Amino acid sequence: MQILYKDIYDTSDKTRVVDVNPTDTIEKVKAKIRDNEGLPRHQVKLLLRPAYRWFELKDGRTLKDCRIGHMSTLEVAVKWLSEQQMEGDLRLLRVELEDVQSQLAMAASQLGRQEELTAAVIEAMEKHLDEERAEHAKAEEESNKRRREKGIMSTCVVCYDAPLEVVLMPCRHLCLCNGCFEELKEHDGGRLLCPICRNQCDAKLSGPVYQHAFDPHT
């Protein structure tokens, strides 16, 4: 919206227009009028009051609070500051600037500590994960070792990697994976000898291990 304003010391009684929002504070309206008139911000103070009324509009209130609507008229009194007043205002601005700088420095310090803490937590978690993996690998190796000592195999006796999948017939030894079974069969020209008992095998049973769980050393 727009409001009108006029300088009470201007004998021409000329009004001017400035664009504002109902939620603008009086202080913000003063700044817009200063910019509109080209007045130095730190050397001039403006006093605003509704036309033909005798009270000053306070800086903290909004136009809506003051019931200032579209095309309302305000009277402006320009007050030039003395050098001493300007110096006081500048000191206040310096204090405010120092406070802001101090708050920014504190926030940066806290952010740095937070980043260090996050990095330490990630490092500790990675170390713990490596320890868990090492313990798991060690336990698996010990389990496989015990199985080998007892003659119980859980992996193919040829590749020692893939799980047991094939029961050879007629010896009924569960000792090969599908891949090694096919490779051995092709290598021997279709004649396959059981890796356990060395008897010739002419068939196989495939399926879940629990259906053909035979001890390969029997």
- The mean pLDDT of the chain is 77
With bands split at pLDDT 50, 70 and 90, how would you rate the model's confidence at 19? very high
* pLDDT of residue 32 exceeding 70: yes
- This prediction has a pTM of 0.37
Closest CA to 157 of 172, 176, 181: 176
Domain membership flag for residue 113: no
Q: What pLDDT is attached to residue 14? A: 82
Indicate the DSSP class of residue 211: G
Average pLDDT for residues 46-59, to the nearest whole number? Answer: 70
Give mean pLDDT, residues 204-210.
51
> In the prediction, which pLDDT does 207 show?
46
The CA-based dihedral angle spanning residues 202, 206, 210, 214, taken in that order and rounded to the nearest 10 degrees: 10
Last residue of a domain, one of 71, 86, 101: 86
Higher pLDDT, residue 51 or 156: 156
Residue that finishes a domain, picked among 86, 119, 139: 86
* Residue 107 three-state SS: helix
Q: Residue 135: inside a domain, yes or no? A: no
- Count how many domains the chain has: 2
The more confident residue out of 45 and 67 is: 67
Which of 22-31, 66-75, 207-216 is least confident?
A: 207-216
What one-character DSSP code corresponds to residue 203?
Answer: E
Structural domain containing residue 81:
2-86
Q: Is the pLDDT of residue 83 over 70?
A: no
Element (H, E) at 142: helix 83-150
Please report whether residue 93 resides in a domain: no
Let me know how long the chain is.
Answer: 218
Q: How far does Cα 49 stand from its chain's mean position?
A: 49
Q: Is residue 43 part of a domain?
A: yes
Residue 211 predicted with pLDDT over 50: no
Cβ(76)–Cβ(7) below 8 Å = yes
Residue with tokens 């000329």: 14
> In this predicted structure, what is the pLDDT of residue 86?
57
Quote the longest CA-to-CA distance of the chain: 124
**Listed residues 37, 57, 86: the one ending a domain:** 86
User: CA–CA distance from 210 to each of 14, 93, 163, 166, 182 (Å)?
Assistant: 101, 83, 12, 11, 21
Give the integer Cα–Cα distance in Å for 122 and 116: 10
85, pLDDT greater than 60? no
List pLDDT tens digits, range 159-184.
888 888 888 888 888 888 888 888 88
